[in-house]
């Protein structure tokens, strides 16, 4: 089994949407893209899979140190994810700053307190959702136009917002109140919404839809596979923006079959 085979199998199990995006990318970019998506999946699990916050912070710091070394041109460690990323970090096609911003946002997951306000939540979603999309776009299209990279970031923000809204009840089950100005915490932790949470979720969905629509006005060109994981975001966000929608009672997002159709349409017409 080649390294790409191994990465592909892992990514398909972890995130079928991103796996489909990698599979239609040019062959020479697939290994690095799969490694990028698996890396984001791996670091997203650290705050939740390591019981002791200090140990989780140490693991995130380990990633930060390795990425900084690779960007400085040091040899890659024998690691299935870092080896494909090393040349991209060394030549700058994968921005170290975007990786570090993503890690800083994941470090925020170690803090059980809610975001202070919507601005803090927006920054979190830009760094957890937008940064990986921007990195993927840069890997796919060297010399990427700034407006295309910005559009990728907006697409990633929209996808991240949809996932954040869908995750609210799951975070509550873990003892987390994830929304700013969320109202009665005890009620949320019992698995019930509050008027304040519904207001935040609906407002975020509406904002994410606006940003998604603006991103779609930009032609992605060779960076199209970076945008494909966001093809299902619109349906989820429109549901979340609907009056009366309650993420604690209703599921978000299209079916797996619908997701495949949306990906196929994007590939066939070059528009996501």
The secondary structure of 23-86, three-state, reads HCCCHHHHHHHHHHHHHHHHHHHHHHHCCCHHHHHHHHHHHHHHHHHHHCCCCCCCCCCHHHHH
130 domain residue, yes or no: yes
The model's confidence at residue 234, banded by pLDDT at 50, 70 and 90, is: very high
Range of the domain at 259: 11-269
Q: Give the number of domains in the chain.
A: 1
What pLDDT score does 265 carry? 75
pLDDT: which is higher, 92 or 241: 241
For the cut 80, the answer to whether the pLDDT of residue 270 exceeds it is no
Question: In the predicted model, what is the mean pLDDT of residues 260-266?
Answer: 72
pTM assigned to the model: 0.94
- The predicted-structure confidence for 64-109, as pLDDT tens digits, reads as follows 999 999 999 999 888 999 999 999 999 989 999 999 999 999 999 9
What pLDDT score does 268 carry? 67
78 domain residue, yes or no: yes
208 domain residue, yes or no: yes
2 domain residue, yes or no: no
Other beta carbons within 10 angstroms of residue 222's beta carbon come to 16
159 domain residue, yes or no: yes
Taking Cα atoms as reference points, which of 93, 179, 90, 164 lies closest to residue 127? Answer: 164
C-alpha angle with apex 201: 200 to 205, nearest 5 degrees? 115
What pLDDT score does 105 carry? 98
For the cut 80, the answer to whether the pLDDT of residue 266 exceeds it is no
228 domain residue, yes or no: yes
Residue 17, CA distances (Å) to 22, 109, 145, 158, 213 in order: 9, 23, 25, 15, 20
3 domain residue, yes or no: no
What CATH number does residue 20 fall under? 1.10.600.10
Taking Cα atoms as reference points, which of 98, 102, 100, 94 lies closest to residue 138? Answer: 94
């Amino acid at each position: 089994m080649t390294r790409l085979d191994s990465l592909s199998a892992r990514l398909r199990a972890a995130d079928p949407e991103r796996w489909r995006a990698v599979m239609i990318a040019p062959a020479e970019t697939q290994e690095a893209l799969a490694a990028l998506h698996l890396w984001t999946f791996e670091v997203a699990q650290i705050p939740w899979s390591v019981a002791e916050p200090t140990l989780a912070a140490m693991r995130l710091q380990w990633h930060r140190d390795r990425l900084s070394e690779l960007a400085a041109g040091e040899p890659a460690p024998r690691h299935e994810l870092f080896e494909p990323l090393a040349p991209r970090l060394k030549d700058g096609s994968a921005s170290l700053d975007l990786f570090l911003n993503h890690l800083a946002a994941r470090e925020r997951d170690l803090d059980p307190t809610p975001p202070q306000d919507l601005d803090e939540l927006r920054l979190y979603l830009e760094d957890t959702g937008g940064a990986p999309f921007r990195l993927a776009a840069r890997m796919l299209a060297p010399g990427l136009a700034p407006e295309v990279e910005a559009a990728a970031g907006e697409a990633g923000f929209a996808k991240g917002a949809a996932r954040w809204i869908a995750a609210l009840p799951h975070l509550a089950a873990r003892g987390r109140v994830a929304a700013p100005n969320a109202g009665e915490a005890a009620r949320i932790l019992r698995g019930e919404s509050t008027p304040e949470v519904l207001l935040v979720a609906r407002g975020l969905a509406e904002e994410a839809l606006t940003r998604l629509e603006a991103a779609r006005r930009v032609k992605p060109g060779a960076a199209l596979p970076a945008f494909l994981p966001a093809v299902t975001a619109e349906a989820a966000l429109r549901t979340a923006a609907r009056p009366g929608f309650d993420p604690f009672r209703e599921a978000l997002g299209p079916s797996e079959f619908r997701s495949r159709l949306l990906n196929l349409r994007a590939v066939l017409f070059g528009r996501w």
